[in-house]
Amino acid sequence: MSHPIHHYNKRKRIHKKHEKYPHPDPLRKTVDRLIYVFGLAAPLLALPQVYKIFSEQNATSMSLLTFSSHIVTNFFWILYGILHKEKPIIAVYIGWILVNSLIVIGTILYG
């Protein structure tokens, strides 16, 4: 059985070898920047569904269990992003929590 300090020092060494952000390689640097655009665009693409629910006041085809479970998993992704200091993951899943919460509210009101 190894000593806990050994584990701490091993993780410390691993974390010091993270890649630079943004990465010096032009392709990776571009992808590092684009992940914010695409990550934030994804929840926005679900907004027409939210609009349809609230404008037609009809959410009979929406599953309350499905979208509620999405909210729970989104919280775990945010926790993961916080623990690993991954801002894109945090930003994306905050957006998904907002969209999924609106769908859940619409489903409760009009489902």
Q: Which of 110, 6, 16, 7 is closest to 60 using CA atoms?
A: 110
- Label residue 10 by pLDDT band (50, 70, 90): low
* pLDDT digits 0-9 by tens, 21-49: 667 788 888 888 888 888 888 888 889 88
Residue ranges of the domains in the chain?
A: 58-111
For the whole model, what pTM was predicted? Answer: 0.69
Among 10-19, 50-59, 94-103, which is the least confidently predicted range? 10-19
The end-to-end CA distance of the chain, in Å, is 55
Q: What is the pLDDT of residue 72?
A: 92
Largest CA distance in the chain: 62
Which H or E element spans position 18? none
